[in-house]
Amino acid sequence: MRKRGPAEVKCDACGGTGHQPAHEIEPGGRIFPGCCTKCGGKGHISKAG
């Protein structure tokens, strides 16, 4: 059997941390919740298919 990669890939949006950088603050005092919206805070994304 050939070597296969993991079914889940590290989220490149947060770097696998599961949360976005803290410097993402919107004007008006609205602060991001910190949870990465791309991976849903998991830090990794399941490969489709």
Residues that bind Zn ion (CB under 5 A): 11, 13-14, 36, 38-39
**38 or 47: CB nearest Zn ion:** 38
**16 or 30: CB nearest Zn ion:** 16
Q: How far is the CB of 11 from Zn ion (least distance, A)?
A: 3
Q: How far is the CB of 23 from Zn ion (least distance, A)?
A: 16
Which 3-state string (H, E, C) describes the chain? CCCCCCCEEECCCCCCCCECCCCCEECCCEECCCECCCCCCCCEEECCC
